């Protein structure tokens, strides 16, 4: 099998993994359905712009080009792989629901319930010193922590004290 036919087969595999038909993925990548069909048959090779668009859609471009899937866990069962694939393609709301159910929480959260945090959230010194640590502003507002999955803020929370929230890689937002 030469590079073109290997890449073509992997390109088709990634398209199917993303649950897109040829017309949908072609449109999202800025090419015609006919050109996309040529890519999947190995009659044409997608350029850098198409590969970038594929990566933005969640395709594993390294896998398409090399055939090496470094992200694939090798010790998972077929059921676990299917669950992982469904989780990766789910919306944030569905992911949160799945984590809630699998961690033994209620399957449908009530307005006043949230799963217990896996690790206590850190509170900045400025917030703790101001006496506002853990206080909320806004009717029905709450902050829900989901451990390594992420966090979500529900309700109308107003930042009256100019508190800085550090999220992610050290950049701050007010």
What are the pLDDT digits (tens) for 64-118? Answer: 888 887 666 666 788 888 888 889 889 999 999 988 888 887 655 555 555 555 5
Domain range 3-66, CATH class? mainly alpha
Global pTM?
0.42
Please report, for the chain, how many H helices and E strands are present, in that order: 8, 4
Say what the pLDDT of residue 34 is.
95
CA 56 to chain centre: 12
CATH 1.10.260.40 maps onto the chain at 3-66
Q: Which residue has the tokens 């048959």?
A: 41
* Tokens (6 digits) for 88: 């990766």
The length of the chain is 174
Choice between 157 and 150, residue whose per-residue pLDDT is larger: 157
Q: Looking at residues 150-154, what average pLDDT do you find? A: 53
> What mean pLDDT is reported for the chain?
73
Q: Looking at residues 41-50, what average pLDDT do you find? A: 91
């Amino acid at each position: 099998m030469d590079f073109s036919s290997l890449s073509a087969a992997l390109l088709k595999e990634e398209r199917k993994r993303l649950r897109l038909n040829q017309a949908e993925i072609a449109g999202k990548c800025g090419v015609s359905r006919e050109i996309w069909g040529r890519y999947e048959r190995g009659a044409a090779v997608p350029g850098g712009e198409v590969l970038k668009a594929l990566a933005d859609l969640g395709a594993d471009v390294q896998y398409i080009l090399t055939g090496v899937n470094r992200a694939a866990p090798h010790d998972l069962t077929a059921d676990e792989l299917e669950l992982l694939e469904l989780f990766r393609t789910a919306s944030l709301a569905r992911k949160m629901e799945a984590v809630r159910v699998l961690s033994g929480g209620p399957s449908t959260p009530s307005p006043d319930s949230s799963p217990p945090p896996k690790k206590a959230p850190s509170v900045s010194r400025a917030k703790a010193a101001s006496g506002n640590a853990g206080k909320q502003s806004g009717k029905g507002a709450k902050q829900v922590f989901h451990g390594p999955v992420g966090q979500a803020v529900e309700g109308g929370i107003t930042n009256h004290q100019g508190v800085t929230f550090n999220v992610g890689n050290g950049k701050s937002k007010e």
